[in-house]
Amino acid sequence: MKFFIDTADIEEIRGLTATGMLDGVTTNPSLIAKSGRVFKEVIAEICEIVDGPVSAEVIALDAEGMITQGRDLAKIAKNVTVKVPLTWAGLEACSTLSKEGTLVNVTLCFSANQALLAAKAGATFISPFVGRLDDLNLDGMELIEDIRQIYDNYEFKTEILVASIRTANHVKEAALIGADVATLPPQVLRQLINHQLTDKGLEAFMADWKKTGQNL
183 binds ligand E4P (CB under 6 A): yes
Q: Which of 203, 212, 168, 164 has the alpha carbon at shortest distance from 187?
A: 168
Give residues 142-181 in contact with ligand E4P (rule: CB under 6 A): 163-164
**Residue 7 contacts ligand E4P per CB under 6 A:** no
Of all residues in the chain, what percent are helix, strand and coil, respectively (each to 5)? 50, 20, 30
- The reply to whether 114 sits near ligand E4P by the rule CB under 6 A is no
Nearer to ligand E4P (CB atom), residue 136 or residue 216? 136
Judged by CB under 6 A, does residue 127 bind ligand E4P? yes
Q: Is 83 labeled as catalytic in the residue annotation?
A: yes
The total number of residues written for the chain in this structure: 216
Q: Which of residues 53 and 122 has its CB atom nearest to ligand E4P in the complex?
A: 53
* Spatial separation of the C-alpha atoms in residues 198 and 99, rounded to whole Å: 48
Instruction: Kindly list the distances between the CA atom of residue 32 and the CA atoms of 5, 65, 149, in Å, as whole numbers in the listed order.
Output: 14, 20, 33
Q: Is 125 in the site for ligand E4P (CB under 6 A)?
A: no
User: Which H or E run contains 82?
Assistant: strand 80-85
Q: Does 129 bind ligand E4P (CB under 6 A)?
A: yes
Q: What is the set of active-site residues?
A: 83
Residues of this chain that interact with ligand E4P (CB under 6 A) are 6, 26, 28, 107, 127, 129, 131-132, 163-164, 183
